[in-house]
Amino acid sequence: MATQHLLIRLAYALDSNHTYQRARRLLYDLLENPDSTLRQGFDLFMMGLVISSVGLLVYDSHEKVELGYWGRLFEDFTIGVFILEYLGRFWLAGSIHETLIRDYEQAEDIGQPWKPSRSFRKILRAKWRYVTSPLAIIDLLAIVPAWRPLRFLRIFLLLRVFKLFRYARSINQFARVFVEKRIEFYTLGVFLAFVIFAAGSGIYYFEVNVPHSQIKTFFDSFYWAIITISTVGYGDITPVTTEGRVISILLILAGIGTISFFTSLVVSSLSERVQEVRQNRVFAEASRMEGHSIICGFGRVGQVVCENLSREGEAFVVVEPDEQAFQQAHALGYPVVQGDATSDTLLKHLGVGRNAARILCLTEDDVSNLYITLSARQLCSEIQIISRVKHHRNQNKFRRAGADFTVMPYQLVARMAAEFAGKPVAFDAVNRMLSGSDLVQVDIVLLPQSWPGSWMVGQLPVQENRLILLGVLTDRPAREEKSSYRVGKRYFHFNPDHNYKPVAGEGLVLVGHLFSLQHFREWVEEQ
Amino acid sequence: MNQKDSQTLIFGCNALGREVAEALISNGVDVQLVDADAEAVEQLQQLGLPARREDALDDRVLRELGLGRRVRQIFCFFQDDADNVFLVLSARDLAAEGRLQIIAVADSLGGVDKLKAAGADKVIDPYETTAHKIHSQITRPLLAELSDALLFSHDDFSVTEVVLTEPSRFIGRQLSDVVHAVEDDVIILGMTDYEMDQTFHFRGKYRDHHLDAGDVLVVIGPHDAVRGFRRWVNQGGGGA
């Protein structure tokens, strides 16, 4: 009982010990944390160490070469680092005190006596799982200096370093090819084994006692069979009897068949995977973006949005189910995933709920757009959702599903057409000013927090900059005598009195030349 | 605008045609919808809109509908760009003299240029328009909201054109001169001189403009103020 108490007190002490926690955290950042920059540096260092130590090993192989004092010192240093790394990883694999505390608290919660032995078994299992993992075995073999050829295994340490590179997932994809086609490979393997065994036994049977024959042992005959069937054909062992040559002919024919079968198998399954590999690359790209937009649907609207966003250097990813549109987006160099944006997993992979700032539902179909809107809102309450709505009657459904903003193309075009009809010049002029495509633009200059509230609008250098002040955008409700209109959550005071005093956070709506606006903006910042 | 003796034709009884027709009718414009599809026509008729079943690709029909006479404005909203181009060309041909305003929508990428070449005054690409709207909503959300307020007419506030007619008090004066002479709650943004070209001249630019009859001022302000301004401007009386 006393030891149990001591154990658990120790565990709690460790848990609250800052130095211990910090050391563990540092080690985690160094060895495991996929997002830490420390780890990338450490990996580079390890890569250099592995390459130079393997290089030294190769250099040292020749019997005339002596390593000398520094060489041996470097070798010892390398081994030292490898051992420390191995121990570090061993330490990180499963936390002892955390397991103890968790189990203890769990036992306390349900009022059962705590059994330390069970916790220790759990800990041992975690450590054992690490020790028996393939990479840990390679690590271990690399630091066991006893048998020289094993030291060469160090080259495999590079594998772990390579794993970090972004496309590790793609490598897994390729490995999965073999798993998926295992029945085909199994058939091929059995066939190969049979052919090699038959040819090897045959050649041994016919040639082992023949004078001048190079086949002396059973191993020789298998070595010959494999060299021949693979069409490598060194020619160090050649059949000398007629029977042996007949076996060679059959073996070569079988070899050509198997090799073409094997190649086509690998190629076909790889090309099936290419799509997925590509997709993973886009996921990896999306996970590194900050505040990007997810564009669902690469129709005409999606295309123009992408064009604008990419021109302004904004980050985005495209999701498009249709093959042709997908290829088009791909050809334009946009990060694009072929798939259905209504899938939650796809949305999560693209950063909904993490680093994605907004999602644009731009498919042609209201039902899909609505579904995407709803899925995205469920995954993340903060993400901005902008959706295209085809039919007027569906607009409320989009609001209900969680869209922040909806665009109705028909209504928009109809309103534009109707407005244009009555006042072509005015409409075009204002539309161009607002879209920012002209040198003369409408823009909003927000007053910074440092803005002194003492300026009256009449005193601002508006006329000097050849600007027109249309109004002020503000949270403050209007005074009665002036014309004021609601714009979203704010008010737009049109043409304010020259003694109106704008305060910080309000926006001045100005019309003017781009450079004048810039100049005025700078002036505002200086105040 | 004087709407008594003029008519507006909308070709295409679809969602777009319907929206525009409703908007124009509420402004008091005399509207006629035309489509060759009986079903589409009937649908709009049931909604109480003046729709007619005619083949708009026939010149005789167009003439019958009043093109070249009463019709001052047409909207080409057919689904197919080729139909719209044909229609625009026929209409331009029929209304060779006299002003006819043609507004069309384009469906394909090259459609905008073709319709412009055919003689449309304004071509709207619905996809591009939607995309720009979404883009400005992303990059400049404040301005996007304000845009709606400035661009589209409301009950009480709008951007409007004021045509200078004899004997306007502005005729014979410089643009830079008159912009500050306005006492109402109205702002003059600039002007277009139709005799010169169709382009809009922002008032803040260095080049000044001599105002004469037929020039169009683009003004912004509350309805009442604009109405008052329009009356005041086109009275005689020289300087203010």
3-state DSSP of A443-504: EEEECCCCCCCCCCHHHCCCCCCCCEEEEEEECCCCCCCCCEEEECCEEEEECCCCCCCCCC
Distance CA A504, CA A247 (A): 94
Model confidence pLDDT, tens digit, residues A139-161: 787 777 656 666 666 677 666 56
CATH T-level assignment (fold) for domain A291-411: Rossmann fold (3.40.50)
8-state DSSP, A151: H
Contact A293, A309 (CB under 8 A): yes
Q: Tokens standing for A459?
A: 């005193």
Checking if the pLDDT of A123 tops 90, the result is: no
Model confidence pLDDT, tens digit, residues B27-83: 788 889 999 888 989 988 998 899 988 888 888 888 888 887 888 889 999 988 899
Distance CA A248, CA A293 (A): 63
H or E element in which residue A228 lies:
helix A218-229
Q: Tokens standing for A363?
A: 């498919």
Distance CA B180, CA A337 (A): 57
Q: What does the pLDDT read at residue A197?
A: 93
Looking at the fold, whether B23 and B124 belong to one and the same domain comes out as yes
The answer for residues whose C-beta is within 8 angstroms of residue A172's C-beta and 6 or more apart is none
Mean pLDDT value of segment A108-131: 83
- Which range is least confidently modeled, A83-92, A428-437, A496-505? A428-437
Looking at the fold, whether B22 and B104 belong to one and the same domain comes out as yes
Q: What does the pLDDT read at residue A294?
A: 93
User: Would you mind telling me the total number of residues written for chain A in this entry?
Assistant: 527
Q: What does the pLDDT read at residue A462?
A: 82
HSE at residue B212, side-chain half, CA atoms within 13 A, is 5
Checking if the pLDDT of A226 tops 70, the result is: yes
Q: Which of A294, A296, A298, A305 to mutate to test the interface with B (most CBs of B within 10 A)?
A: A305
Cross-chain residue pair A410–B8, CB shorter than 8 Å: no
Number of domains making up chain B: 2
Interface of B with A in 52-71 (CB under 8 A): none
Query: What single string gives the DSSP state of each residue in chain B?
Result: ---SS-EEEEE--SHHHHHHHHHHHHTT--EEEEES-HHHHHHHHHTT--EEE--TT-HHHHHHHTTTTTEEEEEE--SSHHHHHHHHHHHHHHTSSS--EEEEE--STTHHHHHHHHT-SEEE-HHHHHHHHHHHHHH-HHHHHHHHHHHS--SSEEEEEEE--TT-TTTTSBHHHHTTS--SS-EEEEEE-TTT-S-EEETTSSS--B--TT-EEEEEEEHHHHHHHHHHHTS--S--
Checking if the pLDDT of A93 tops 70, the result is: yes
Looking at the fold, whether B124 and B212 belong to one and the same domain comes out as no
Looking at the fold, whether B226 and B166 belong to one and the same domain comes out as yes
Where residue B188 sits, what CATH number does that domain have? 3.30.70.1450
Nearest Cα residue to B182 out of B223, B136, B221, B140: B221
Checking if the pLDDT of B236 tops 80, the result is: no
H or E element in which residue A353 lies:
none
Q: What does the pLDDT read at residue A370?
A: 93
HSE at residue A155, side-chain half, CA atoms within 13 A, is 9
The Cβ of residue B166 has, within 10 Å, a number of other Cβ atoms equal to: 10
Checking if the pLDDT of B238 tops 80, the result is: no
Q: What does the pLDDT read at residue A166?
A: 45
User: A250 forms bridges with which residues in the sheet?
Assistant: none
Interface of A with B in 177-206 (CB under 8 A): none
Examine residue B151 and state whether it is found in any structural domain, yes or no: no
Confidence of residue A317 (pLDDT cuts 50, 70, 90): very high
Looking at the fold, whether B76 and B189 belong to one and the same domain comes out as no
Min Cα distance B223 → chain A (Å) is 10
Q: What does the pLDDT read at residue A519?
A: 86
Distance CA B177, CA B203 (A): 10
Return the percentage of chain A with pLDDT > 70, whole number. 93
Q: What does the pLDDT read at residue A157?
A: 67
Confidence of residue A196 (pLDDT cuts 50, 70, 90): very high
Looking at the fold, whether B123 and B168 belong to one and the same domain comes out as no
Nearest Cα residue to B158 out of B105, B103, B225, B216: B225
Interface of A with B in 398-437 (CB under 8 A): 405, 407, 409-432, 434-436
Specify burial of residue B6 (Cβ count, 10 A radius: 0-12, 13-18, 19+). Answer: middle
Looking at the fold, whether B17 and B59 belong to one and the same domain comes out as yes
Between A167 and A482, the higher pLDDT residue: A482
Looking at the fold, whether B167 and B226 belong to one and the same domain comes out as yes
Chain A with chain B: Cβ pairs closer than 8 A: 212
Question: Mapped to the 3 state alphabet, what secondary structure does A400-457 carry?
Answer: HHCCCEEECHHHHHHHHHHHHHHCHHHHHHHHHHHHCCCCEEEEEEECCCCCCCCCCH
- Contact of A310 with chain B, judged by CB distance below 8 Å, is answered with no
Q: What does the pLDDT read at residue A161?
A: 61
CATH T-level assignment (fold) for domain A182-273: Helix Hairpins (1.10.287)
Residues of A in contact with B128 (CB under 8 A): 300, 304
- Contact of B151 with chain A, judged by CB distance below 8 Å, is answered with yes
State which of A14-23, A223-232, A489-498, B147-156 shows the largest mean pLDDT: A223-232
Mean pLDDT value of segment A373-380: 91
State which of A141-145, A167-171, A175-179, A303-307 shows the largest mean pLDDT: A303-307
Residues of B in contact with A513 (CB under 8 A): 202, 204-205
Q: What does the pLDDT read at residue B1?
A: 40
Q: Tokens standing for A49?
A: 């160490």
Checking if the pLDDT of A74 tops 50, the result is: yes
Cross-chain residue pair A444–B185, CB shorter than 8 Å: no
Distance CA A415, CA B40 (A): 21
Examine residue B152 and state whether it is found in any structural domain, yes or no: no
Nearest Cα residue to A376 out of A344, A399, A333: A344
Contact A346, A282 (CB under 8 A): no
Residues of A in contact with B161 (CB under 8 A): 423-426
- Contact of A29 with chain B, judged by CB distance below 8 Å, is answered with no
Residue A270 CA to chain centroid, in angstroms? 21
| Rg of chain A on CA atoms, in Å | 36
Residue position matching structure tokens 């009937």: B42
Identical fold for domains A182-273 and A291-411, yes or no, is no
Q: Tokens standing for A224?
A: 């010959």
Q: What does the pLDDT read at residue B240?
A: 39
What is the average pLDDT score of chain B?
82
Mean pLDDT value of segment A421-441: 79
Return the percentage of chain A with pLDDT > 90, whole number. 16
Looking at the fold, whether B171 and B117 belong to one and the same domain comes out as no
Q: Which of B132, B147, B182 to mutate to test the interface with A (most CBs of A within 10 A)?
A: B132
Examine residue B38 and state whether it is found in any structural domain, yes or no: yes
Examine residue B239 and state whether it is found in any structural domain, yes or no: no
Checking if the pLDDT of A502 tops 50, the result is: yes
Cross-chain residue pair B160–A305, CB shorter than 8 Å: no
- Contact of B153 with chain A, judged by CB distance below 8 Å, is answered with yes
Among B112, B129, B146, where does a domain finish? Answer: B129
8-state DSSP, A209: T
Examine residue B116 and state whether it is found in any structural domain, yes or no: yes
Domains of chain A by residue range = 2-164, 182-273, 291-411, 423-526
Residues of A in contact with B136 (CB under 8 A): 434-436
Q: Which of A298, A308, A486 to mutate to test the interface with B (most CBs of B within 10 A)?
A: A308
Q: What does the pLDDT read at residue A199?
A: 93
H or E element in which residue A284 lies:
helix A242-288
- Contact of A304 with chain B, judged by CB distance below 8 Å, is answered with yes
Residues of A in contact with B132 (CB under 8 A): 304, 308, 435
The answer for residues whose C-beta is within 8 angstroms of residue A434's C-beta and 6 or more apart is A441, A442, B136, B143, B147, B150, B151
The answer for residues whose C-beta is within 8 angstroms of residue A513's C-beta and 6 or more apart is A439, A440, A466, A467, B202, B204, B205
Contact A33, A145 (CB under 8 A): no
Assess: ipTM above 0.85: no
- Contact of B111 with chain A, judged by CB distance below 8 Å, is answered with no
Looking at the fold, whether B33 and B120 belong to one and the same domain comes out as yes
What is the average pLDDT score of chain A?
83
- Contact of B45 with chain A, judged by CB distance below 8 Å, is answered with no
* CB nearest B126 (choices: A358, A409, A428): A409
Looking at the fold, whether B13 and B116 belong to one and the same domain comes out as yes
Examine residue B137 and state whether it is found in any structural domain, yes or no: no
Q: What does the pLDDT read at residue A372?
A: 92
Looking at the fold, whether B44 and B81 belong to one and the same domain comes out as yes
Which structural domain, as residue segments, surrounds residue B192? 157-233
Min Cα distance B125 → chain A (Å) is 8
Where residue B46 sits, what CATH number does that domain have? 3.40.50.720
Architecture of domain A423-526 in this structure: 2-Layer Sandwich (3.30)
